Homo-oligomer: A and B are copies of this chain.
Amino acid sequence: MPELRKDPIIGRWVIVATERAKRPKDFKIEHNNIKEGVCPFCEGHEDMTPPEILAIREGGTKKNGPGWDVRVVPSITPVLRVEGNLNRRGHGMYDVMDGVGAHEILIETPDHNKEPGQMTIEHVSKIARTMAYRIADLENDMRLKYVLVFKNHGRVAGGSHIKHARSQLIATPITPKRIKEKLIGARRYFEFKERCIFCDIIKQEMDSQSRIVYDTDHFVAMSPFASRFPFETWILPKRHSCDYHKITEEEMLDFGKMIVTVFGKLAKALGDFPYNLIIHTAPFRAHKKKGYWDTIAEDFHWHLEIMPRLTQVAGFEWGSGFYINPTPPEEAAKYLRDMEI
C-alpha cells in the first residue's frame, strides 16, 4: 500500500510508493527505454487494459470491446489504491496515512493520432461529459475529498512514451494544498468584496480585452495576468459555478467548441507542444457536515489551466515559489487571438 506522508514544516503531502521501490538503475533503464510498441489505448486492444469503468459507446457494442468514443479504465500503475481505510497515524513527530484513493485513465479517442485540436466539437463535449460523470460517481465514496482531472502531454511534461490522447483522474482522501490555497484566497477576496474573485477577473479581462484569447457564449479563454508559463491559458465558465460536474448540456457543447479552438490555436502556434492540463473544481461536499467549506458555492469558480512546458522549472522556482516567464501574457494572448485556424 502506498503511504501518504506529510511534510512536518509546510504540510505538503507526498505519495511514497512503498512497493516496487525504484533504485538508481531503474531510473537509468527508464530513461533509455522509449519504446514504440502496440498501444493499449487503441480501439481493438481493449483486453490490454483493466476492465472499463465507463465508456460512451455506439448502441449494440459490447463492454470491453470496440465501438466506443471515450473510455475510462483503472490505471495499471495506480499511485493510490481503492481498497482499505485511511488509517491515519503518527510516526514520532510525523504524520502518515495509507494511500487510499482512485486513479483512472480517461482515453479520449479510439484514434491513436488524434489530439484535441483535431477532434470534433461533439467528440470533445463527450470527453467533457465523461469527466463530469466520473467526478459525480467518485463523490459517492465518503473516504474521498477531491478529484483532480489532469493531462500530461509530451515527455517533458511527464507524459509517457505512448502518445495516445488521454487524461487522468486521481481522487484523494484529503483536499490538496494547491486547491486549499485557491479556496482560501477566493474566500478572503469574497469576505472583503462580497464578490467572486474569478467573476471579477473575467469582468476586468473582458473589459480590457488585452489578455483575452477567445470567448464563446458560455466560456472565456485568457492568458492570466500573472502567467507562470509562456502561452499559459486558462478557460473559465462565464456563469458562476464552483463544480465542474454541474455543467449544463448547453454549456458542454460550447465547452467543446472552446477546447477545440484553443488547442487548434496553440498547436498552430507551438506545433506538437508539451503541456500539462488541470481542472480545478470544488472539493466534495455531499457528505460534509456544515462548516469550513460552506461558502465554496459562492466564493469558488471552477476553471481549466493549460500549461505549455516550453521553459524548465529549476532551482529558483523550487526554492522560492516564484516563476520566471519570458513571454508577457499580453503578447501571448495577442499572438493566439490573431492566429487563424
Contacts and interface: CB of A to CB of B under 8 A. Distances in A.
Interface of A: 5-18, 20-24, 27-28, 79, 91-94, 146, 148, 150-152, 155-159, 168, 170, 172, 176-179, 181-182, 184-186, 189, 197-198, 200-201, 204, 208, 224-228, 230-231, 269-271, 276-280, 305, 307, 310-316, 318-329, 331, 335
B93 A327 contact: no
Which of A151, A225, A311 neighbours the largest number of chain B CB atoms within 10 Å of its CB? A225
Contact of A318 (B11, B276, B322, B335): B276
Contacts of A225: 5, 7-8, 91, 94
Given A227-B14, A321-B177, A276 B157 contact: no
Contact of A9 (B22, B177, B185, B324): B185
A9 to B, nearest CB: 4
B176 A324 contact: no
B148 A320 contact: yes
A146 B321 CA distance: 13
Instruction: Count this chain's copies in the assembly.
Output: 2
A270 B23 CA distance: 9
A16 B319 contact: no
A21 B227 CA distance: 14
Contact of A226 (B8, B150, B151, B227): B8
A296 to B, nearest CB: 14
A135 to B, nearest CB: 14
Contact of A28 (B12, B150, B271, B279): B271
A315 B151 contact: yes
Contacts of A151: 315
B316 A168 contact: yes
Nearest to A208: B92
Return the 6 tightest CB-CB contacts between A and B, nearest first: A158-B314, A150-B315, A278-B319, A176-B320, A158-B312, A178-B321
